[in-house]
Amino acid sequence: MKLDELRPAPGATKPRKRIGRGPGSGHGKTATKGSKGQKARSGGGKAGGFEGGQMPLYRRLPKRGFRPYGGKTEYEIVNLKSLDTLPAGSVVDPERLVEMGLVRRSRRGRVKILGQGDLAHALTVKAHAVSESAKAKIEARGGSVELLGAPVMAAS
């Protein structure tokens, strides 16, 4: 069998119904729409969400909140107390956090370090965002903070 010999099974396909193409087609005159009424007219029918005059669901429910275009930037959160087990002088970046099991590989494109907990020694932290309290605690121990470029969600 070759690709050019492939055919649908007999009776599996039917020609499309060509309505409104004259009396010889068998679907002329009213073009299968019956006679008269809203649905027989051009553009006829009800709008989506119409409930026969009852207040439609999308208007009955309260509207809450506001989300600007692009939505909210969601970060993977890591607290300083999770980094305390690392040896002095370690470099902490999203890849290292994945190895430690603190961040999922698919979410490593946006990592934020928060200041909960304390550090015992200096670390070099590379992340997409760092809170003020975390930055102050890292630098107080002689470590450094480096902000990574625009967050990118890399394929895993």
Domain 76-147 has what CATH class? alpha beta
pLDDT in tens, 8-62: 999 999 999 999 999 999 999 999 999 999 999 999 999 999 999 999 999 999 9
Residue 71: what residue type?
Answer: G
**Cα 156 to the chain's mean position, in Å?**
16
Sole residue written with tokens 């007999």: 10
Per-residue confidence band for 152, with pLDDT thresholds at 50, 70 and 90 = low
pLDDT at 151: 57
Query: Coil, strand, or helix at residue 96?
Result: helix
Query: Coil, strand, or helix at residue 26?
Result: coil
Query: Coil, strand, or helix at residue 141?
Result: coil
Residue 11: what residue type?
Answer: G
